[in-house]
């Protein structure tokens, strides 16, 4: 087995729900030792999150939790017990990174702001993900992914004109805030490798969405144009660059769609031939991009007539063979069971889990040639590694462990 690029990095993982666990999933995939600190009295709600195996949630049978927490360890620690807090300090003392995604102010209320943490571990990297960050007048406001998506502008930028916002059908910004946190931690580790200096990182989830709207903001500050104007958002038609055809088209079967994006007149010509040179497509109005944009409704309706009779996969293959960007709107089932690209690249795997059986996982992106990230274990059971971490990592004697356990520290 090849070595992992983050081997030797220890992460004290105080995160829960999705954004924080996404960040630590990435660090764990690349080989960091991620120790989830969990609390019996206030369990991560995702441990109850659907989908689950079986009828009732058990803390350990959530497929949702399993997906975001592979390759990690779990310890139970009662931080409301003074000795539990002391144990947490000992864990921080031997960790390279402490990461949390509580509302801003929570860790401070535990007596663990960055100054306090630095007192325990001078080189520590402390990364916090909150809704609005640790500064600013609304720092006590809270978010879940959908709240942050709505505020950032991303929800409004998704939808058909004249309809309510379609937004994002999942917490895109929980993923994305987690990505920025993983990136930030790795940058800080590089800096620490060079200088020995740790630091604090403050991530506001709403801002991780706002940075993904840059050109739209500039269109307003430079040109005075807002996405609230008539005709916006443009559905699946192109915003910039303005090209046509550029849309999703219905295919044979129930709720089957193909996305097509024609970037140039040459690609249009290729598509026209791939469609079998139907008479309507020879119309001079469609020969150049400007004409296709001016007659986009008619163009889209004609293309839909062609796609509607065909399987989405067949449309994609036909157009791709002609060099035209096209892709099926794939479900999760399509991706796991049919997608020949993901299959050929060995993307899917399964790892055993006591309550979920052979549980499915995707691979580690991107692929590093010398030290690729790996899937090693499914998600940990609640507190599975408490004894191991206390006696191994923290060097407690079996007697001390038993004593603390009897006092209710590990619950």
Backbone angles phi, psi at 223, to 5 degrees: -105, -5
Instruction: Give the nearer residue to another protein in terms of CB position, either 190 or 285.
Output: 190
Instruction: Give the nearer residue to another protein in terms of CB position, either 90 or 134.
Output: 134
Kindly state the smallest distance separating residue 146's Cβ from another protein, in Å.
6
Contact predicate 12/36, CB 8 Å: no
Kindly state the smallest distance separating residue 55's Cβ from another protein, in Å.
12
Kindly state the smallest distance separating residue 299's Cβ from another protein, in Å.
16
Instruction: Give the nearer residue to another protein in terms of CB position, either 164 or 231.
Output: 164
Kindly state the smallest distance separating residue 239's Cβ from another protein, in Å.
5
Classify residue 384 as exposed, middle or buried by CB count within 10 Å of its CB (0-12, 13-18, 19+).
Answer: buried
* DSSP assignment letter at 253: S
Q: Which residues have a Cβ under 8 Å from the Cβ of 394 and sit 6 or more positions away?
A: 87, 90, 91, 94
Which member of 13, 174, 219, 265 is catalytic? Answer: 174
Q: Which residues have a Cβ under 8 Å from the Cβ of 324 and sit 6 or more positions away?
A: 260, 262, 267, 270, 271, 274
Instruction: Give the nearer residue to another protein in terms of CB position, either 203 or 389.
Output: 203
Nearest in space to 178 (alpha carbons), one of 68, 72, 71, 97: 68
Instruction: Give the nearer residue to another protein in terms of CB position, either 62 or 386.
Output: 62
* 357 token code pair: 């059986």
**For the chain, first and last CA: distance in Å?**
36
Relative orientation angle of helices 19-29 and 172-195, to the nearest 10 degrees? 50
Distance CA 19, CA 172 (A): 9
Distance CA 411, CA 244 (A): 59
Our CA angle for 55, 25, 386, nearest 5°, is 70
Query: In whole angstroms, what separates CA 395 from the centre of its chain?
Result: 35
Contact predicate 110/74, CB 8 Å: no
Instruction: Give the nearer residue to another protein in terms of CB position, either 123 or 278.
Output: 123
Relative orientation angle of helices 145-152 and 172-195, to the nearest 10 degrees? 90
Respond yes or no: is residue 96 known to be catalytic: no
Active site residues per annotation: 174
């Amino acid at each position: 087995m090849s070595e992992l690029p983050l081997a030797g990095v220890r992460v004290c993982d105080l995160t829960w729900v999705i954004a924080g666990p996404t960040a630590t999933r990435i660090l764990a995939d690349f080989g960091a030792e991620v120790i989830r600190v969990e609390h019996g009295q206030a369990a991560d709600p995702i441990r109850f999150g659907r989908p689950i195996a079986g009828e009732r949630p058990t803390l350990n049978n959530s497929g949702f939790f399993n997906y975001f927490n592979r390759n990690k360890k779990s310890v139970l620690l009662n931080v409301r017990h003074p000795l539990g807090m002391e144990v947490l300090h000992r864990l921080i003392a031997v960790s390279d990174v402490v990461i949390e995604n509580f509302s801003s102010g929570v860790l401070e209320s535990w007596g663990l702001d960055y100054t306090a943490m630095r007192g325990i571990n001078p080189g520590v990297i402390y990364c916090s993900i909150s809704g609005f960050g640790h500064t600013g007048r609304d720092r006590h406001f809270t978010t879940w992914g959908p709240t942050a998506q709505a505020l950032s502008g991303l929800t409004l930028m998704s939808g058909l004109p004249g309809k309510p916002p379609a937004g994002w059908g999942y917490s895109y910004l929980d993923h994305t805030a987690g990505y920025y946190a993983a990136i930030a931690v790795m940058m800080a580790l590089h800096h620490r490798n060079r200088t020995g200096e740790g630091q604090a990182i403050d991530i506001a989830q709403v801002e991780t969405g706002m940075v993904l709207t840059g050109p739209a903001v500039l269109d307003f500050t430079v040109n005075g144009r807002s996405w609230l104007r008539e005709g916006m958002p443009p559905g699946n038609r192109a915003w910039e660059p303005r090209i046509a055809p550029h849309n999703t088209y219905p295919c044979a079967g129930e709720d089957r769609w193909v996305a097509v994006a024609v970037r140039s007149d040459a690609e249009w010509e290729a598509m026209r031939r791939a469609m079998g040179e139907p008479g309507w497509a020879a119309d001079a109005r469609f020969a150049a991009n400007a004409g296709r944009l001016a007659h986009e409704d008619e163009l889209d309706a004609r293309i839909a007539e062609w796609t509607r009779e065909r399987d989405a996969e067949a449309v994609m293959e036909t157009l791709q063979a002609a060099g035209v960007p096209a892709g099926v709107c794939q479900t999760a089932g399509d991706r796991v069971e049919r997608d020949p690209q993901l299959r050929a690249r060995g993307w899917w795997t399964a790892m055993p889990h006591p309550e979920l059986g052979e549980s499915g996982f995707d691979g580690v992106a991107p692929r590093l040639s010398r030290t690729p990230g790996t899937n090693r274990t499914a998600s940990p059971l609640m507190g599975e590694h408490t004894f191991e971490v206390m006696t191994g990592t923290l060097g407690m004697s079996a007697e001390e462990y038993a004593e603390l356990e009897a006092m209710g520290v590990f619950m």
